[in-house]
A and B are shown apart, each in its own frame.
Chain A
Amino acid sequence: MKRAELIQNIKIRCGGDMSEFRDKSEKRIYVTVKKEILPKIAAYLFNEVKARFSTASGVDTRENVEILYHFSVDDIGLIVSLRVVLDKSDLEVESLVSLMKAADWIEREIHELLGVNFKGHSNLKKHFLLKDDWPEGDYPLRRDK
């Protein structure tokens, strides 16, 4: 798929639920979407475009927590970073594990380090990276203290 066509398709599928589109460079685009349509756009990229799920980055921007899902469209060398902005009072987003197995570990990681709840993920209780007796509710990458 051509770059312009892909961008067009993403924009059509997002409709009014896209709050920002940034064409940073030839090989990098950033799309901020409402969290309600995240599964739909991720499914489009993963299943239809056959983009590879590289990873997700959880970021505490002090005001909010952002998650960027980086998809690599390998045939054109483009990284599409799908961003959802979560309010700190409602840190919950749909899990993408049922869509792609590759999201399993990174969701557990973001849950543990930033306290985001991934709705529908079956294995968020057990500690992933931190030690087993790490205190409940203490998220190392949060910057709100």
Chain B
Amino acid sequence: MARKIIPIGPYHPLQEEPEFFKLHVDGETVVDIDIDIGYNHRMIEKIAESKSFDQVTFLVERICGICSTSHPFAYVNAIEDILGVQVPERALYIRTVIAELERIHSHLLWLGLAGHFLGYNTVWMWAWKAREPILDIFERVAGNRNNYAMFKPGGIRRDMYEEDFPWIKKTLKSLIPVFNMFKGAVMDDPVLRARTEGIGVLTERDVHDYALVGPTARASGSVIDIRKINPYAAYDKVEWKVAVQNGGDVFAKLIVRVLELYESIDIIIQCLDKMPKGEIDLNIKDVPPGEGIGRHEAPRGEVIHYVMSDGTNRPARHKVRAPSYMNVASNKKAVIGHTISDATIILAAVDPCYCCTERTAAVDYKTGKKVLDGQDLIRLSQEKTEKLRRKKTA
């Protein structure tokens, strides 16, 4: 059969990281993949050189639309690394609360979309429904459902109020039964297992070669979690476990994310219980010459920022590396040998932005004629689940 090329992407300007995948297929099987990024390159690193250290926090908050606190967190860690200062303890706890709330809503977003791609639209709706209370907490704490603007070098911008804590805890606890339901849906459904087990496997070796991070790495047995490796904020002041699985497939990635939902709730509640009273900001005025590296374990993995200061009020150089930068490249390994109907969920399993898979089209290599579009590919994936479901129940 003639080889065909299926382009997936390139981008949707509202999403975080536009990507373009070109799947080379032989019949149903994916034999090669080209990955192209840079469709919406904003040159944030260059813009950062023209902003003051304080303004850069707002700038990097706009890198990612989903986990908007990930980059400010890594950035303030980098600035504090240059300064070598100790941030007030209350601020550290509040930072942790914000970051973990974000992890919950980001994982729920992923879970919902993964459900949708696999033809489980109920999972999609339930997951996104469960995400709403988290956004309500953000609204109460920061005034915004996203782009919370809570961080600044040396502390945080606004305090949390003790009178909100009981309500926050109650809201979080009410989500546990919902998470139990997700866990049950994932673990006990034979069809969902058939769709995700052994699909898109990445080994520990691949994790090292491609330098993978976050749930993508932890699903392959690698204990890579910056919160444990290089503890910052309040992560060494609370009890929690790193979620690790050994399968390396889509199923393992699902499990890791679901388990992390529980850990995050646990971390937040402990933080609220232990949070000391006191100052929240060091009121830093100047950043001396030097260089600093800041890291944060974002929902998708390690975010790393390198900042060089020359003693002026702006960074001389600011390098940003997001987790998907490493994880997306691993699709080169994960997707090859699988069928087109599995490609959607494999590409989505590293949790990149979904815009790409939404804007898919299959084009005949020779004639340039469109064969399948994004909706068709999702339909293919959903039909496969349906077929399996019927087989199981027959």
- Closest 5 CB pairs between A and B? A102-B211, A129-B38, A57-B319, A77-B230, A55-B321
A59 to B310, CA, bound (A): 12
Pick the contact of A72: B229, B231, B291, B306 (CB < 8 A): B229
Which residue numbers of A lie inside 8 Å of B, CB to CB? Answer: 25, 27-28, 30, 50, 52-55, 57-60, 68, 70, 72, 74-75, 77, 79, 81, 100-102, 104-106, 127-130, 140-141
Judging by beta carbons under 8 Å apart, are A53 and B211 in contact? Answer: yes
Judging by beta carbons under 8 Å apart, are B304 and A59 in contact? Answer: no
Within 8 A of A (CB), among B187-234: 208-211, 213, 223-224, 229-231
* Residue B293 is within 8 A (CB to CB) of chain A in the complex: yes
* Residue B308 is within 8 A (CB to CB) of chain A in the complex: yes
- Cβ-closest chain B residue relative to A101: B209
A35 to B292, CA, bound (A): 22
- Cβ-closest chain A residue relative to B38: A129
Given contacts A52-B213, A68-B306, A106-B321, 5 further A-B contacts (CB under 8 A): A54-B211, A100-B211, A101-B329, A102-B326, A104-B329
Judging by beta carbons under 8 Å apart, are A52 and B46 in contact? Answer: no
Pick the contact of B306: A57, A60, A77 (CB < 8 A): A57
A105 to B211, CA, bound (A): 12
A4 to B130, CA, bound (A): 48
Interface residues of chain B: helix, strand, loop or mixed (majority): mixed
Question: If A54-B302, A102-B326, A130-B41 touch, does A27 touch B209 (CB 8 Å cutoff)?
Answer: no
Judging by beta carbons under 8 Å apart, are A102 and B41 in contact? Answer: no
Question: If A70-B306, A102-B210 touch, does A28 touch B41 (CB 8 Å cutoff)?
Answer: no
A6 to B210, CA, bound (A): 23
* Residue B165 is within 8 A (CB to CB) of chain A in the complex: no
Pick the contact of A55: B208, B230, B316, B319 (CB < 8 A): B319
* Residue B177 is within 8 A (CB to CB) of chain A in the complex: no
- Cβ-closest chain A residue relative to B35: A105
* Residue B2 is within 8 A (CB to CB) of chain A in the complex: no
* Residue B167 is within 8 A (CB to CB) of chain A in the complex: no
Judging by beta carbons under 8 Å apart, are A79 and B293 in contact? Answer: yes
A72 to B302, CA, bound (A): 11
Q: Which residues of A contact B87 (CB under 8 A)?
A: none
* Residue B373 is within 8 A (CB to CB) of chain A in the complex: no
Pick the contact of B229: A60, A74, A127 (CB < 8 A): A74
Judging by beta carbons under 8 Å apart, are B81 and A55 in contact? Answer: no
Within 8 A of A (CB), among B316-331: 316-317, 319, 321, 325-326, 329
